[in-house]
Structure 1
Amino acid sequence: MSTTGARLLVVDDDPDMLRLLSMRLSSVGYQVTAVTSAETALTQLEIEHPQLVLSDVRLPGRDGLQLFDEIRKRHPSLPVILLTAHGTIPDAVEATARGVFTYLTKPYDGRELLDKIAQALALGAPASTPAKAGDESWRAEIVSRSNRMSELLAEARMVAKSDASVLLRGDSGAGKEMLARAIHRASARADKPFVAVNCGAIPEALLESELFGHMKGAFTDAHANHKGLFQQADGGTLLLDEIGDMPPALQVKLLRVLQERAVRPLGASQSIEVDVRIISATHRDLDAAMAAGQFREDLYYRLNVVTLTLPPLSARREDIPLLANHFLQKLSTKYGKRLSGFAPEALKALATAAWPGNVRQLYNVVEQVCALSSSPLIPLALVQRALRVPTVEVQTYAEAKQRFERDYLVGLLKLTDGNVADAARLADRNRTEFYRLLQKHELTPGHFKADAVAPGSEPVAD
């Protein structure tokens, strides 16, 4: 992101150094206000609102370190860079630990100075993205200013104009579903349904019925016709997330649907035509899966007409402050808090963290600090605490209880082969109460029987 036009306050009691700094910074587009003392700098801060302060440590009267302490009290999110002589390095290091963005020793390297200023300004970027033109609304949910993402989004928009199947690759948490939604919104199918299914999160016995539907009486407990996800997405887009986890038997049936552009619900005697654009996503190495016989090569080439690869968050670090502030805005509303942003050193810690869990992990970290913050400005200590347990997913007690209850019931039904009487006995609950629990979580015992996948499961000839 260009920093041209940013307003800087420069403080140095040496007129020659002050003039040199001002000329250098003005020549690259910054708006520079130059003052010769800490007292004048504090007065100037009340008149205008710079985006960064660059100060010498040795100043007459109040020195640069004392100036920083006062700035921190009045403007806690304003980044400060100190220029120091070798004799004051220990003081500058201590100041960095207290929150100074960084320090540079004299004589400083001009390129390094500009780089550090650009970094500090990027970390202090506004929480919201610039207003997008109307034709950019398709990607409004994707918060980014990195070149890597700009290139990817340009490709995605081109792909969206066709009906070609798209395979999205990328690590878990990188934002594959969000990109799939953006492609759908940029396509001619935008006013039709977008449907997403995680192929690895649904038991194999249920996945076929979920995808293709079933007719009343197709199997035990099939009390009504059920329209599958292909039919629900008719005219629109279907995202098959974690396609690499799809069981081999269903890969065959999916291939048939893609070839015939029609689905046959379980128990149906005729196929139903569907018009669906397929986007699939995976974090797995499908080439390795094909080599191991775990993924069909013919299906792979059907799905992989165009491949888009999302970069990990560590490869687009300039997006981290923007994303963190974006999430903080959203979550402060959820938690009913007035949060103004992150302290500069807190943003710096976020920008330099490893992020193995990518954007999803960043969201969880921001949610944790948002939930625990007792002050408008998120401090470094709270971010460091959250980063030590980055994979903790913040849930309410009710959400955690709901998830445990459903997982517990699924486990019992698998263990008892869908026998409700046995499952209720193991749970120490009467059958009526157990049935109510199953109904609450929309679980069908018949789907967990060993022969539940038998109807229509015969292999399909290529």
Structure 2
Amino acid sequence: MERHTGSATAPHARLLVVDDDADMLRLLSLRLRAAGYQVATAASAEAAMAQLEIERPQLVLSDVRLPGRDGLALFDHIRARHPALPVILLTAHGTIPDAVEATSRGVFSYLTKPYDAKELLDKIAQALALAAPAPSAAQADQAWRAEIISRSARMADLLAEAWMVAQSDASVLLRGDSGSGKELLARAIHRASRRARQPFIAVNCGAIPEALLESELFGHVKGAFTDAVTSHRGLFQAADGGTLLLDEIGDMPPALQVKLLRVLQERAVRPVGSSQSHPVDVRIVSATHRDLEAAMAAGQFREDLYYRLNVVSLTLPPLAERREDIPLLANHFLHKLAAKYERRLSGFAPEALKALVAAPWPGNVRQLYNVVEQVCALATTPLVPLALVQRALRVPSVQVLTYAEAKQRFEREYLVGLLKLTDGNVADAARLADRNRTEFYRLLQKHELTPGHFQAEAAAGLSPPSDAGK
């Protein structure tokens, strides 16, 4: 067999191949591995979804006809969670109309069976050349995103998209809760762009009074107002050739929104008090934790400015939705801050780390940093104990259950719900649970639940006591 080198832009790219035909799956795997690709396989859409949670490939190759969910449903799942991940569908003649429709929805391409081997390899190479690079291979040099510590699949997808966006000059709107790392992502985009050697300047539009913000952004000439004793270059001119981050753009006053829109349209700034405009070449990244669509509906944010800023939108997930990053971040911050405070700290006690992972984190990564800084300042032993973490958190932790404990809790709550629904009628509850009465009674005994308590509740119109049946 002639060896194909795959995409020159993605050597050793990882592919996920999905087909319920074991022979076809084996043939495709052999052919693709011979072409230099790493191949993972799945025999169903459900198995493919599980694979995607473990490790994100650079391309998915799937049959349309699969048991359970079909290949189109798998594509919809991928599109919702991994929008930059290319998908190629293999289809029999009868499903060509579905495949054609899927391409209009974002499927990269489709091939009919029996497929041509060279055409398949060419399609894969084309898709990989256009797709976001895999997070682990986005760039041999990962310095552009070095400040962003993560092993989360969601963050990996986000960073892959950020790398793609950085290669253009498109304006980017970063969304996410306060403390989720929007400025770090903006810096990463700047470092990955052709503007990396030019200035990166950030300004918080909500932290500067309106009277000063115009001068801060656009500059002023001497004598423009009472305190203007000298001329001042604004941040747009200071960032010329580079990137300007407009943080908390949703808090910008309406009058300044008009002036900002003019600067973006004309690519020139006019300092306060000046009659001359100065051309500027600045890439705009804006960030907000506000709902700008709601702000537009309320007349608080200009629609024309919104579309200027929101050419590409990236959303950072809150820390609570990427808990696998918490141990990584906590230990990274611990070692960094231990050096700052000159403390010999080796890590967190297992119970302390468990408490960090379980905490709600309304303040996101910024709050985690503050918590770790506090324990670093107060720690007296090399291993940070649970008590110190609990003190720093100052909020009750979410209880982390073992699988057996979670299963037991769910089972008991499910049984209680059935008994409430049926007013303690075991026959009706067993029927709803699709279990025979003998088995259902065993479950009630296991959880020490007495049906009579729920009959009494129905008669009295009261809730059962929390320890009912115990």
TM-score, normalised with respect to structure 1 = 0.55
Q: Quick one: which of 364, 379, 384 aligns to 2:385?
A: 379
Identity in percent: 83
**2: CA distance between counterparts of 1:132 and 1:332?**
31
Shift of 1:189: 0.2
**2: CA distance between counterparts of 1:257 and 1:288?**
24
Q: Quick one: which of 266, 278, 281 aligns to 1:260?
A: 266
Deviations 1:206-235 (A, max 9, x none): 000000000011111111110000000000
Deviations 1:112-147 (A, max 9, x none): xxxxxxxxxxxxxxxxxx999742110011000010
Counterpart of 1:222? 228
CA RMSD of aligned residues (A): 1.5
Shift of 1:333: 1.2
Matched, 1:242 2:252: no
**2: CA distance between counterparts of 1:180 and 1:389?**
31
Residues 1:327 and 1:132: Cα distance change in structure 2 (over 3 Å): farther
Q: Quick one: which of 345, 354, 364 aligns to 2:351?
A: 345
**2: CA distance between counterparts of 1:132 and 1:333?**
31
Shift of 1:269: 1.3
Shift of 1:334: 1.2
**2: CA distance between counterparts of 1:333 and 1:132?**
31
Counterpart of 2:432? none
Counterpart of 1:329? 335
**2: CA distance between counterparts of 1:134 and 1:206?**
43
2:138–2:163: 8 Å Cα contact kept in structure 1? Answer: no
Residues 1:246 and 1:216: Cα distance change in structure 2 (over 3 Å): same
Matched, 1:358 2:364: yes
Shift of 1:353: 0.7
Once the two structures are superposed, the pairs formed by residues 142-181 of structure 1 within 5 Å of their partners are 142-181=148-187
Counterpart of 2:39? none
Counterpart of 2:88? none
Deviations 1:388-424 (A, max 9, x none): 169xxxxxxxxxxxxxxxxxxxxxxxxxxxxxxxxxx
Q: Quick one: which of 276, 280, 300 aligns to 1:294?
A: 300
**1: CA distance between counterparts of 2:158 and 2:260?**
28
Deviations 1:156-192 (A, max 9, x none): 0000000000000000000000000000000000000
In the alignment, residue 343 of structure 1 is paired with which amino acid? Answer: A
Paired residue secondary structure (2:338): helix
In the alignment, residue 227 of structure 1 is paired with which amino acid? Answer: R
**1: CA distance between counterparts of 2:294 and 2:275?**
37
Residues 1:356 and 1:225: Cα distance change in structure 2 (over 3 Å): same
Counterpart of 1:186? 192
Paired residue secondary structure (2:271): coil
2:334–2:347: 8 Å Cα contact kept in structure 1? Answer: yes
Shift of 1:262: 0.2
Q: Quick one: which of 251, 260, 267 aligns to 2:257?
A: 251
Matched, 1:231 2:234: no
**1: CA distance between counterparts of 2:215 and 2:227?**
12
**1: CA distance between counterparts of 2:139 and 2:355?**
33
Q: Quick one: which of 209, 212, 216 aligns to 1:203?
A: 209
Counterpart of 1:402? none
Deviations 1:187-212 (A, max 9, x none): 00000000000000001110000000
Deviations 1:46-74 (A, max 9, x none): xxxxxxxxxxxxxxxxxxxxxxxxxxxxx
Residues 1:132 and 1:188: Cα distance change in structure 2 (over 3 Å): closer
Matched, 1:283 2:289: yes
In the alignment, residue 319 of structure 1 is paired with which amino acid? Answer: D
Counterpart of 2:430? none
**2: CA distance between counterparts of 1:377 and 1:131?**
35
Paired residue secondary structure (1:148): helix
Counterpart of 1:418? none
**2: CA distance between counterparts of 1:164 and 1:287?**
20
| Residue range with higher mean Cα deviation, 239-248 or 216-225 | 216-225
**2: CA distance between counterparts of 1:389 and 1:272?**
52
Residues 1:187 and 1:383: Cα distance change in structure 2 (over 3 Å): same
The runs of 4+ residues in structure 1 deviating greater than 4 Å are 130-134
In the alignment, residue 275 of structure 2 is paired with which amino acid? Answer: S
Once the two structures are superposed, the pairs formed by residues 101-120 of structure 1 within 5 Å of their partners are none
Matched, 1:388 2:394: yes
Q: Quick one: which of 146, 159, 174 aligns to 1:140?
A: 146
**2: CA distance between counterparts of 1:264 and 1:218?**
12
In the alignment, residue 357 of structure 1 is paired with which amino acid? Answer: G
Paired residue secondary structure (2:220): coil
**2: CA distance between counterparts of 1:389 and 1:360?**
16
Counterpart of 2:401? none
**2: CA distance between counterparts of 1:367 and 1:311?**
23
Counterpart of 2:5? none
Counterpart of 1:310? 316
Paired residue secondary structure (1:135): coil
Q: Bigger relative contact order, structure 1 or 2, given CA contacts below 8 A and separation 6+? A: 1
Q: Quick one: which of 276, 285, 288 aligns to 1:270?
A: 276
**2: CA distance between counterparts of 1:134 and 1:227?**
38
Paired residue secondary structure (2:233): coil
Q: Quick one: which of 361, 368, 375 aligns to 1:369?
A: 375
**2: CA distance between counterparts of 1:289 and 1:368?**
37
